[in-house]
Amino acid sequence: MNKIKVFPVSLGCSKNHCDLENMLALLKNGGYEITLAEEEADVAIINTCGFIESAKQEAIDEILNISELKEGNLKKLIVTGCLAQRYGAEILDNFPDEVDAVAGVFCFDKICEIVAETLKGSRKVYLEKSDADNFNHLPRIQTTPFYYAYLKIAEGCNNRCAYCAIPKIRGGYVSREINSLVKEAETLASNGVTELIVVAQDTTRYGIDLYGKNMLIPLLSKLTEIDGIKWIRLHYLYPEMIDEELLLFIRDNEKIVNYFDIPIQHINDRILKLMNRRSDRAQIEALMKNIRKILPDAAIRTTVITGFPSETDEEFEELYNFIKETEFDRLGSFAFSKEEGTKAYSMKPQIPKKVKQERNDRIMKLQSEIMEKNNRKQIGKVYEVLVEGFHNEYGVYFGRTYKDSVDIDGMVMFESETPIEFGDYVNVEITGADGYDLTGKIID
């Protein structure tokens, strides 16, 4: 008897991607076959994001796109993830012909049961929390390139930022056990992973709920002991929780790359308070100075929001000028997205869409100028580069330095007279800058 073939689609953040990898392993262990050939699939699973409007639209477009496969071999389409958790039955009601089941973020360990029931004709919404204590013990199938993987150390968030729906969707902050994380990381390393990207909605609060105190440093200490792991990259460090002890620990541990992803969202104190952020301008400025002092070669990435309700022209200019003065190495800017169920949804006055976007465009234009300026300063320097691919059109290899994370940052393009294996680390002298990217030549 032929196995049922399941085609996965991953949308959204790296944390969401980890959930899908868990589901794929459960499906494979449950007797299903995973396929990347969509035309062969009996069942498609779209693991969605529901964070902001653009993510919701991407999920809707993907549902409509994948549902067209029902004209061929596809029998059932299941929607999972944040959009599923947030809107549940609305998805079934709005897509009566396209979607056959909806499963939220708390029951994906039941994915085999959900697929089986759906294939038998059931059309249901699964949002209930699983009774099983599988949070620390789920298998996973790595779907990233063999040399890097994400390690999700916690679920949910306690920060309750006024613009964010994540706590409403995924609940409060729940840390995973250290032993479970170390075991998973050891398995990843044995499979060839050399770059471990540690993620959570708020990495800096790891362990407080589980152990009664912050345990990020003890966790990182264990991870640095794993043979085969070369780079450990931290994502989503909240500014108020980054103290000197953590900075010194990172400085003194060569496996932890000097890369700080710190979402500040704004710099004006009134706006930060409205956002329900826990830091203010003075704290953020002090932190940036401290990072530069202790780790002068650190890459600092941040995200900001333009057009938050009631943001004045003067408050936006304060943010603009702070970015200009600070010269973040990496920065992402987003126009405020009005999300149901958040405190900011009903705040007044709401900023017109055109104004929000114009402010966002100004920030990104400024950051482009900063990046070009900073990249020119890299010419003549030598960086270790993780090789990720070969560009056939230009005949060059490309990869990332410690300053660049997956998908969101730039890359280094370089020539090599001898073949190089993907996943290798090579030394590259920077010879030029091209927008957000660098060019260089390999050296011995």
Residue ranges covered by each domain of the chain: 5-126, 148-376, 382-443
Compute, in degrees rounded to 10, the torsion defined by CA atoms 231, 444, 438, 197: -10
Q: How confident is the model at residue 434 (pLDDT cuts 50, 70, 90)?
A: confident
Q: How confident is the model at residue 431 (pLDDT cuts 50, 70, 90)?
A: very high
Q: What is the pTM of this model?
A: 0.93
We find that the CATH architecture of domain 5-126 is 3-Layer(aba) Sandwich (3.40)
- The tens digit of pLDDT for each residue in 289-347 reads 999 999 999 999 999 999 999 999 999 999 999 999 999 999 999 999 998 889 999 99
- The tens digit of pLDDT for each residue in 138-195 reads 889 999 999 999 999 998 899 899 999 888 888 899 999 999 999 999 999 999 999 9
What pLDDT was estimated at residue 134? 57
CATH class, range 148-376: alpha beta
Alpha-carbon Rg for the chain, nearest whole angstrom, is 22
CA distance 244 to 250: 10
Q: How confident is the model at residue 414 (pLDDT cuts 50, 70, 90)?
A: very high
Share of the chain above pLDDT 90, in %: 78
What pLDDT was estimated at residue 53? 74
Q: How confident is the model at residue 46 (pLDDT cuts 50, 70, 90)?
A: very high
- The tens digit of pLDDT for each residue in 357-379 reads 999 999 999 999 999 999 999 99
What pLDDT was estimated at residue 106? 86
Share of the chain above pLDDT 70, in %: 98
**Residue 132 scores a pLDDT above 60:** no
What pLDDT was estimated at residue 127? 87
**Residue 131 scores a pLDDT above 60:** no
Average pLDDT, the chain: 93
What pLDDT was estimated at residue 204? 96
Q: How confident is the model at residue 56 (pLDDT cuts 50, 70, 90)?
A: confident
What pLDDT was estimated at residue 166? 86
What pLDDT was estimated at residue 169? 86
CATH class, range 382-443: mainly beta
CA distance 232 to 181: 13
What pLDDT was estimated at residue 218? 98
